[in-house]
Structure 1
Amino acid sequence: MKRTRGNQVVQFPRILSEMVGYQVKSTFHPIYEACFDKNLVRTHYVQHRITPNSVFRQNGLKRPQFTEGTLFGKIRMNEVYKMNSQVKTLDAILGPKMGDHYLSKIQFLSRGHLAANADYATSALIRATFHYVNTAPQWMRGNAGDWAALEEVSANNLYTTRVTSAGVRGGGVMGRWPRATNSRGYQILEGAKV
């Protein structure tokens, strides 16, 4: 294993174990660990621990902006998730006008948290979940609907059963997103300047 600037290279030279957390004086306090693939430019999974404390969530927090960081290279993840980029991407994959057919103001790909921000109680911990390394594309209806309800039920169940903590591993299901190409050779990621 090789350690470089907080990243641990594991098993394959292009797979990084990226620890996300806070440095306080000389001690690093990890919040979650992301398994990131530099070849595919995607996070395979994120693992973290949840505790019953997440039910005592700080109220009135302003939703943080997502942080891009350096893992995605020249790809501007803020641009990738914009509606016009998603429309162009689906048009390139499925054919002309298909992006407009499948996407709308209520049905689009959102930034789904792999380590849910609902799993954390304080603003500092919640803010740490807003890194693109902790996301995978997720249909908005699922992200804001059933998935959010599942996160809440899980936290409440952990609290009521008095379990001290539970390990969680979450990952995306979209194989080679975002750097795959379709059968016509188009790059699936719109907005990439590579």
Structure 2
Amino acid sequence: MLEVLREPLESGRVTISRAARQASFPARFQLVAAMNPCPCGHLGETTGRACRCTQDQVSRYRGRISGPLLDRIDMHIEVPRLDPGALDASIREEEPSAVVQERVEAARRRQLARGGCPNSALFGVSLEQACVLDPESRALLRRAMEQLGLSARAYHRILRLARTIADLEQAGRIGPRHISEAIGYRRLDRQGPARAGAG
């Protein structure tokens, strides 16, 4: 079932073929997905229950999501278990939603003014024009590509994400900081062999 998401995530369209007929429909959407780090859900926890999965079980579990599908997901991050104290809204210091909303709207306006489309729709020449890298940023991205074995698809997604991070900061150009942050959001690309419990 998950693999059928590959085409619409890449092209923004879904094609259905039935009885020698074919129809294509718009299917541009934003995918937000979640998964446990392992079958028992406790891998990586420093407090509470310990993971009881074997490394083989963890590898099989993560293998349910194919590399080509992961390539099409811009950001994969790890969300650790929250300390109970962090759940108390009265003591959290957060940026107000209205401030975040204004920053996002301003970034979107920059994107539309620059290329007539959001960064997610940049491909080919338009992507290259919007994502000009200085030598330091280019070298950083090249090293990440080599060390992590990233695909061309992941490369382009990192560029789009770095451009968006720069837009949120109202930066005219992408810098090493933006590239580094975008690479940091590719958690499953960076993950080495899982360290499972002894079980």
The two structures have a TM-score, normalised by structure 2, of 0.26
Higher share of residues assigned helix:
2
Higher share of residues assigned strand:
1
Which has the larger Rg? 2
The two structures have a TM-score, normalised by structure 1, of 0.26
